[in-house]
Amino acid sequence: MVKQTLVLYPSPPIGHLISMVELGKLILKYHPSLSITVLVTASPYSPGTTAPYIDRVSKTISSIHFHYLPTISLPLDPSKPRHHETILFDILRLNNPLVQQALETISQTSSIKALIIDAFCSAALEVAGNLNIPALYFFTSGISDLALFLYCPSLHETTTKSFKDIDAYLDIPGVPPLLASDMPQPLMDRSEEIYEIILGFTSDMGKSQGIIVNSFESLEPRALKALTEGLCVPHAPTPPIYCIGPLIADGDGSAGNKNHECLSWLDSQPNGTVVLLSFGSMGLFSQDQLKEMAIGLEKSEQRFLWVVRSPATDDKTKHFMAKPEPDLPSILPEGFLDRTKDRGLVVKSWAPQVEVLSKPAIGGFVTHCGWNSVLEAVRAGVPMVAWPLYAEQRINRVFLVEEMKVALPMVEAEDGFVNSSEVEKRVRELMETNEGKRVREQTRRMSEAAKAALSESGSSPRALSKLAELWKVYDTEDM
Ligand code: UDP
């Protein structure tokens, strides 16, 4: 019998790769006879960060194989700074012949049932078409984000202005009113290349054979309803949507360090008292902002676990590049580490976030609103303070605060700076006030809902079995 394979094609950032691999693991749980091949593209920003994770999965799950695509390096011209997303899209477009080659090689020994692509990898639809392989999207953000992205081509038609020039709320089916200034940065200016590219993939997704979403129905019911009623893709049938989440890496995604010092430190702290501050794989702050955060955190008098990276460089072309380990005494206010040592721990660069969030000591999470971090917090029942930094995180803040009600907002000044009194105020609000209590209770309800969604008869396995019908259709033909 020919081996049946699904090929997964994530975009390079670690959060995207991990959730794609987790999708593979979930599929294998219900369909153990399949095999999975993951196409890996080297990250242009932080090469190598995914290697320990890939290594761990390869060693433990024999049905998941990783196929490394040869590295494409683009010459970067510092005099012409480009959006980091544009660079990523360029690489993923240039990957196409390599993806085609990989699929041809795989199909010599297996029957490829489907190609599952990250939304950023939309260019590969052409390859799937060439080879007659069914292609589906895996959308690594929430259902509300999906509603918004699928509605982008319609929004584009309603105005000739760029979002950056619109001082008003946008009316998008299934989501709360959003300020145009909250739209993802790469969509702000319609004269830019990146706007065109994103508009292109949102339109491709709307015409696809299906979209798998890493979320669950009861977390975002309004957006799901708008999608299934066809309101977000008004002029064509909406593709089937499969909400199979929350998918969460079982353990530290990158470093695999279950013995990290912060875990035993957390075990020695009282339940529900520690605020985690962690900002994803690419969240960087200026030196001034780091100092201001430290002052606010100290004034809040709360216990904390803070993951600190080296400050961001002013060079925008290198903004997302991996940084050296921070020298904490030189970047934090003088004496801060000493004054807070009895109630705070600062960890350099990276902490095993999933394990951290599952510790009973954790009572709150100041997050950059990356979707994986959000799901990890929701599953653990940890309420958040939403401090968005990049990508679609500003819209996530609106969804988390106004729709899901699992977070309080961190409010920045017009230039994006957050002062120490705001940090102090929000952290205290989360940990000490009735408003914080309401958010905590709602997050706990959502944590229960997440467990129910994943249970045997829950909405997520049901969505997965519907999805599997797509490739089962072809099963008998290969016997
Ligand atoms: N993460 C971690 N330790 C850190 C920072 C991040 O384990 O110190 C993990 C986090 O648990 C999440 C992923 O990295 O699974 C980041 O994904 P997310 O979608 O939150 O943000 P992104 O990095 O894509 O902006």
Report the separation in Å between the CA atom of 97 and the middle of ligand 1, taken as the mean of its atom positions: 30
Structure tokens belonging to residue 237: 């049938």
- What is the arithmetic mean of pLDDT over 402-427? 97
Question: Does residue 445 have a pLDDT over 90?
Answer: yes
Q: Which of 244-248, 252-256, 466-470 has the lowest mean pLDDT?
A: 252-256
Q: How many domains does the chain have?
A: 2
**Token pair in block for residue 283:** 């969240």
Arithmetic mean of pLDDT over the chain: 92
d(CA 383, CA 437): 9
**Per-residue pLDDT for 48 more than 70?**
no
pLDDT (mean) for 361-367: 98
Residue 219 has pLDDT above 60, yes or no: yes
Highest mean pLDDT: which of 132-146, 247-261, 301-315?
A: 132-146
Q: Is residue 197 part of a domain?
A: yes
- Whether 409 and 395 map to the same domain: the answer is yes
Instruction: Compute the average pLDDT of residues 24-51.
Output: 86
Quick one: 309 and 378 in the same domain?
yes
Distance from Cα 7 to the centre of ligand 1, integer Å? 24
Atom of ligand 1 nearest to the CA of 252: 7
Question: Could you give the CA distance from residue 350 to residue 24 in angstroms, rounded to a whole number?
Answer: 25
From 252, 254, 281, mutation site for ligand 1 pocket: most ligand atoms within 8 A of C-beta: 281
Least confident segment among 94-98, 438-442, 465-469: 465-469
Q: Is the pLDDT of residue 471 over 80?
A: no
**Span of 29-43, 242-256, 320-334, 426-440 with lowest mean pLDDT:** 242-256
255: pLDDT strictly greater than 50? no
| Residue 17: inside a domain | yes
Domain that holds residue 35: 3-244+456-478
Residue 418 and residue 275 share a domain: yes
Beta strands (DSSP E) in 372-415 are 384-386, 407-409
Dist CA 55 CA 64 (whole Å): 11
- Ligand 1 centroid from CA 421, angstroms: 26
Please tell me the predicted confidence (pLDDT) of residue 479: 36
Q: Residue 46 above 70 pLDDT?
A: no
**How many whole angstroms from 315 Cα to the centroid of ligand 1?**
23
Which residue out of 46, 247, 353 has the highest number of ligand 1 atoms within 8 Å of its CB and is therefore the one to mutate?
A: 353
Q: Give the pLDDT confidence of 194-204 residue by residue, as tens digits.
A: 999 999 999 99
Distance CA 312, CA 89 (A): 23
Ligand 1 mean position to 310 CA, how many Å? 16
- What is the average per-residue pLDDT within 325-345? 96
The pLDDT score that the predictor gives to residue 49 is: 72
Do 106 and 232 belong to one domain? yes
Ligand 1, atom nearest to 249 Cα: 15
Q: What's the predicted TM-score (pTM) here?
A: 0.94
Q: How many CA atoms lie within 13 A of 18 on its CB side?
A: 28
**Closest atom of ligand 1 to CA, residue 248:** 15
Q: Does position 2 have pLDDT exceeding 90, yes or no?
A: no
Residue 171 has pLDDT above 60, yes or no: yes
Do residues 438 and 471 share a domain? Answer: no
Same domain membership, residue 344 and residue 305: yes
Per-residue model confidence as pLDDT tens digits over 70-92:
998 776 666 666 777 888 899 99
Query: Any residues with Cβ below 6 Å from ligand 1, and which?
Result: 13-15, 18, 249, 252-253, 278, 280-282, 307, 350-354, 370-373, 376
pLDDT band at 34 (very low <50, low <70, confident <90, very high): very high
> Side by side, which strands form the sheet with 384-386?
344-348, 303-308, 274-278, 362-367, 384-386, 407-409
Asked whether residue 16 is domain-assigned, the answer is yes
pLDDT at 259: 85
CA distance 155 to 187: 11
Q: Are residues 340 and 219 in the same domain?
A: no
Residues 367 and 442 in one domain: yes
What CATH number does the domain containing 412 carry?
3.40.50.2000
- The Cα–Cα gap between 422 and 132 comes to 54
Q: Which residues pair with 131 in a beta bridge?
A: none
Q: In the predicted model, what is the mean pLDDT of residues 231-238?
A: 95
pLDDT at 317: 55
Confidence of residue 478 (pLDDT cuts 50, 70, 90): very low
Q: What confidence score (pLDDT) does residue 319 get?
A: 56
Asked if residue 250 is part of any domain, the answer here is: no
Task: Report pLDDT digits (tens) over 130-168.
Answer: 999 999 999 999 999 999 999 999 999 999 999 999 999
Query: Does residue 208 sit in the same domain as residue 266?
Result: no
Q: Which ligand 1 atom lies nearest to the CA of residue 351?
A: 8
Residue nearest to atom 5 of ligand 1 (CA): 280
Q: How far is the CA of 372 from the centre of ligand 1 (A)?
A: 6
Lowest-confidence segment of 158-162, 171-175, 467-471 by average pLDDT = 467-471
Q: Are residues 149 and 288 in the same domain?
A: no
31 and 156: one domain?
Answer: yes
pLDDT at 229 over 50: yes
- On the question of pLDDT at 399 being above 90, the answer is yes
Q: Has residue 249 been placed in a domain?
A: no
Same structural domain, 228 and 264: no
